[in-house]
Every structure is written in structure tokens, then in C-alpha cells.
Amino acid sequence: MIRTQAAGTLRAEHIGHQVTLAGWVARRRDHGGVIFVDLRDASGVVQVVFRGGSAEADTAASAAHVLRSEFCVRIVGTVERRPAGNENPELPTGEVELTVTELDVLSESAPLPFPIDEHVGVGEEARLKYRYLDLRRSGPAAALRLRSDANRIARGVLGERDFVEIETPTLTRSTPEGARDFLVPVRLQPGSWYALPQSPQLFKQLLMVAGMERYYQIARCYRDEDFRADRQPEFTQLDIEMSFVTQDDVIEVGEEITAALWKELAGVEIPRPIPRITWHDAMDRYGSDKPDLRYDLTLTELTEYLRGTEFRVFAGAIAAGGYVGAVVMPGGAGQSRKELDGWQDWAKARGAKGLAYVVFDGESGAPKGPVAKNLSEEHLAGLADAVGAKPGDAVFFAAGERIGAQELLGAARQEIARRTGLVDENAWAFCWVTDAPMFLPVESSDDVAVGSGSWTAVHHPFTSPTAEWLDSFEQDPGRALAYAYDIVCNGNEIGGGSIRIHQDEVQRRVFDLLGITPDDAAEKFGFLLEAFKYGPPPHGGIAFGWDRVCMLLAGVDSIRDVIAFPKSGGGFDPLTGAPTPITPQQRREAGVDAKPKPKADPAQ
């Protein structure tokens, strides 16, 4: 090593020691006769002092005048106690300083594109283009170190429980998650393409057939869909699969990992067991399959209460077998007309027709507003009680197809919480959402979901129905439930999984309902079905959205902050400039334009 100590580790006990440090010039304070430099390395910062005195110290001091921000230097000196009154209690090393006898400039730094300074905000574009400089800052660096700790903790929990860490291919076939695939041309077989895995789903099931019994992997996954603050097309899962388990067993492991992470990295003891709510209850009460339970606000269904109303918006939904519901905005009656109109724009931006509302007068409690005029005396009289509103509150309504209307109210619930400060930013609220429906009706024609039936798998087509529905899911697919579960933290889905189908006959019936013919199935997942002929064990698993988990633990707003080199919205990497066009020769060699030769698929 070219240094004897790490800068941030120097303490009073080192006083008198001659040490060699190496790091970067974080800041210099040149007083002419004495120069202070804050020397930073990965461990922290220590103040070094250039002062004349001896021949070599004079040489170092005069050389120090040319030091600039982020010069990389090696420094030899003596650790000394700072003069009385000059200690800096803000710094862990603030009791001491290094008096320099030798300075060696290892490399110089050009003027920086932005300051490497804790208290200066820098735009994300600049940060990502010079991410290596951004990561010299303590905040961004800490986020990556936290992620490393999370990996270590998860490996520890799983290792203790005899899980086997196994890597699976990234050049493979399409997997059944239902997102768009990234495709890779294959030079050796022009016209044929690999897909990058959307998850290791099929491989981890094969590993169960292989008798590994307990598998995990910190796996890179690829889905060619649009970006969000919590979504990149290239992301990481902590992927887990177990044999001979029930849903409760998987949930127990999931809680163990979650509890360990939050205990060590957030200093929080998560109360266990983590509460469970069924998917349908979550939709009914919170209008979301990933409810934020940091606040209490719930939805109220009014379908029965308002039956018989003449207000066309509600009557139409009820007549069509739909749903009418409401959510209260505490104190919402105090909003101006403009603010209430703003909610209409908010709803329209989400694709809704609008957001009907009634406000209750702050003193009389009398219902007011355009919708109130359309409701009968009776309906108005009992409304406040029905939805749990007090004088001074506002109530928003949604009507229409059940899930769609509930989701609108769920989004309104969140927005209400945000605007009225209901969210406790220091709270951690976890829950499991269980008993997800197996199927949803296929609506949009551009759905890339597998199969051509009128139903699509909510999770993926290998998800097992619950015991109650095992024999009967075909009879009422819309109500059939699956052993599928998500873990939710503060309104973020941080993980999800299911018990898989391991019986041939059940799998065939599910494919049948999804409109996947035996030929389709053989073509898409033939290798899996083949494997399942050879004594597949009952199995199930879970995958954590690792970027989101780290984002929450780091207390940041975007997964970009916990990814070393993230991409920006258009799939563009501001640092490398990827993606780039390819040369004609690359195009030729890659076989991008080649037609596949018809041939027998050896996987069948």
C-alpha cells in the first residue's frame, strides 16, 4: 500500500505517529504562510497543514500552493494535536491534524464540472454524466455502500438457512412475465435471437426440479418498458425459490430478510408478523394493491347506499353492475372553487372523466356542491355518516367499473394524504397483500400477455390457485384466487411471489383458460413442461425489487440514486452515450436482418 493509514481513521491516539496518507484535495484554505488542506479518502476527511520550518517542509509548503480541488496526492507527515481552540467537533478527526513533511502529487485534476461539495445541489444530468465525480460525494457514495450492506445482509440470512446462490443465464429465451423483451441477435445462428431474462423465473423453477431445494440470486433483470422514478429497464431482484413449502414458509423467509435489512440499515425493529391483507380487501379499503398504510384514510363503497339515485353518473354505474365509492378529504371543504376544479384536472390527467365531490359546510355540516344538487334529500341526509365525513370535510366520488373506480379513489387517497400532510415521513408501514386474483379479463388489444384467451394471468401462468380454487377456477375465473403475495412498504411494492403449479394437469387447465394451446405452451415453455414430467417438487418463491428496497432504506426518491451507473429516461446512458448505432459490418455479422432458417426446435 502506498499509504499507512486511512485519513478518516486518525484520532488522538495517533498523535506523534508519522503516517502516509493518500487521497484527494477536498478543499484548500491558503493563508499564504500556512495552508490547510482537507484530505479526503473513502474513510473520511482529515485536515493537513503545510507550514515551513525544515528544508523539506518548506519544499512541501511551496509545492502546496499549486494544489487545487480533487488533485490526487500522497502526503507524509506527523499526526499532531490541534492547537487549543482550533479543534473541529464537526469532524471525527477534528482533534488532530497532520503536519506535512512531504507532498507527492499523484495526479492533477482539471477544473470540475460541478463542485464536489455536500451543500451544493447539482442537477441530475450533470451528476450522471460525471457519475464518477458525483460518487466522490458522501451522500451518493453512502447510497452505494448501503446497497452493498443490503446484499451482505441478505446473503447472510439466506446463507444461514442453507440457501444456495446460483447464477442463471442472461442470454436465454423469453420468460413469462409479460413485459416486452430485450432481444439480442445471435451471430452463430443468423435470424435467431436471444431474449434477456425479465427474471430468472423459469430457471429457478428448473433448479427446484433439480433438487436444489433452496435457491437465491441477486439477479439482473431486463424489461423493455418505459421509465419511472422506481423503474429502470435494467434492474435487480433478490430472487428466491424454495421446495416443499407453503405460502407461509415463503412469507416467513421474506419477513426474516426484511426485518434484518431494516434493523441493521434503518435501525428499525419491524413488528412481526407483518400484517396481511387480502388483495380484495386492499382494493376495497385503499383502492390499491400496494396500499400505503402510514395513514388511516379508507374508501367507502356506496353502491348499495346510492342504489335508486337519479344522478346519472352513479345510476349508470350501478345499473351496469359497477361500483360507486367515495373517499373523504379531511378539511377539504375549505378549498377554493379553483382548488376543487383542480381535482377535476388531476382526475382527467389520470384518464378519468372527472372526480365528483360534495363538501360539508364547516358549521352547519350541510352538503354543498354541484353533485349535491343531483342527489335526493335522503341520500344527502345520510351521506356524511355513510362515508364518515365531518363538517368541514370534502368527499370525492368515483363510479364505474369496480377496479378502475377503486384505483381512482386510491390515487385520490394518496393525493389527499400528500396535500393534507397525513403522511408520517418517519414511519415504516409494511404489509403483505395476499390472495391475489388468478386472472383478470383481457381488455386492451395491444396486450403483450401470453395467450389468446379472454383471461390473462395476474402474476404469471405458473401461479397456483389456492386450495379452495384448485378444482374450480375455470368455473369463475374472475373470482378465483391464487397463492400469490406481495410485500408492500409505505405504498411501494418491494417484493412479490407465488406458490407455483407443480401438477401437469393443473398447469394444462390454466393454459387452457389463458388460451395457450398445447402447441403454444410447447413452443414457449416446452423445456419447463418437459422438466415437470420428472417428479417436480411443490415449490414457490419470492423476488424482492432490490433497487426499490435500497431506495427506501437510503431514504432517496429514485432508484437512480442506488444504481452505480443508471440510465436516463430515453434509455440513454449520459456517461457512456449508449446506445449507439452499429456499423454496417456489425449489422452484417450480428445477423440482424437475416431470416431464420426453419428447423426443428431441439427444446421440444
Residues making up the binding site for ATP: 223-225, 232, 493, 545-548
Residues comprising the binding site for L-aspartate? 177, 223, 459, 500
Of 518-577, which residues contact RNA (CB under 7 A)?
Answer: 543, 545, 558, 560, 568-570, 572, 574
Distance CA 181, CA 234 (A): 11
Q: Does 182 bind RNA (CB under 7 A)?
A: no
Q: Does 36 bind RNA (CB under 7 A)?
A: yes
Nearest distance, CB of residue 252 and RNA, angstroms:
19
Q: Does 179 bind RNA (CB under 7 A)?
A: yes
Q: Does 353 bind RNA (CB under 7 A)?
A: no
Q: Which stretch binds RNA (CB under 7 A): 71-79, 226-234, 315-323, 419-427?
A: 226-234
Distance CA 202, CA 325 (A): 40
Q: Does 121 bind RNA (CB under 7 A)?
A: yes
Name residue 595's amino acid: K
Name residue 242's amino acid: M
Q: Does 87 bind RNA (CB under 7 A)?
A: yes
Q: Which of 149, 234, 281, 493 binds RNA (CB under 7 A)?
A: 493
Question: CB neighbours of 493 closer than 8 A, spacing ≥ 6?
Answer: 289, 290, 486, 487, 545, 548
Q: Which of 13, 54, 113, 373 binds RNA (CB under 7 A)?
A: 113
Nearest distance, CB of residue 52 and RNA, angstroms:
6
Of 321-350, which residues contact RNA (CB under 7 A)?
Answer: 349-350
Of 297-316, which residues contact RNA (CB under 7 A)?
Answer: none
Are 221 and 198 within 8 A, CB to CB?
yes
Closer CB to RNA, residue 79 or residue 371?
79
Of 126-155, which residues contact RNA (CB under 7 A)?
Answer: 126
Closer CB to RNA, residue 345 or residue 504?
345
Of 229-288, which residues contact RNA (CB under 7 A)?
Answer: 229-231
Q: Does 444 bind RNA (CB under 7 A)?
A: yes
Q: Which of 18, 62, 86, 586 binds RNA (CB under 7 A)?
A: 86
Q: Would you give the DSSP letter of residue 563?
A: S
Closer CB to RNA, residue 221 or residue 317?
221
Please give the biggest Cα pair distance in the chain: 98
Q: Which of 144, 212, 458, 531 binds RNA (CB under 7 A)?
A: 458
Task: State the distance between the two ends of the chain, measured CA to CA, in whole angstroms.
Answer: 56
Kindly report the backbone phi and psi dihedral angles of residue 497, in degrees, each rounded to the nearest multiple of 5, phi listed first: -170, -170
Of 184-213, which residues contact RNA (CB under 7 A)?
Answer: 198
Q: Specify burial of residue 26 (Cβ count, 10 A radius: 0-12, 13-18, 19+).
A: buried
Distance CA 522, CA 505 (A): 15
Question: CB neighbours of 224 closer than 8 A, spacing ≥ 6?
Answer: 179, 180, 181, 182, 233
Are 436 and 481 within 8 A, CB to CB?
yes
Q: Does 117 bind RNA (CB under 7 A)?
A: yes
Cα 34–39–43 angle (5° rounding)? 150
Q: Which of 180, 220, 509, 588 binds RNA (CB under 7 A)?
A: 180
Determine the size of the site formed for RNA (CB under 7 A).
Answer: 78
CB atoms within 10 A of CB 207: 21
Distance CA 355, CA 346 (A): 9
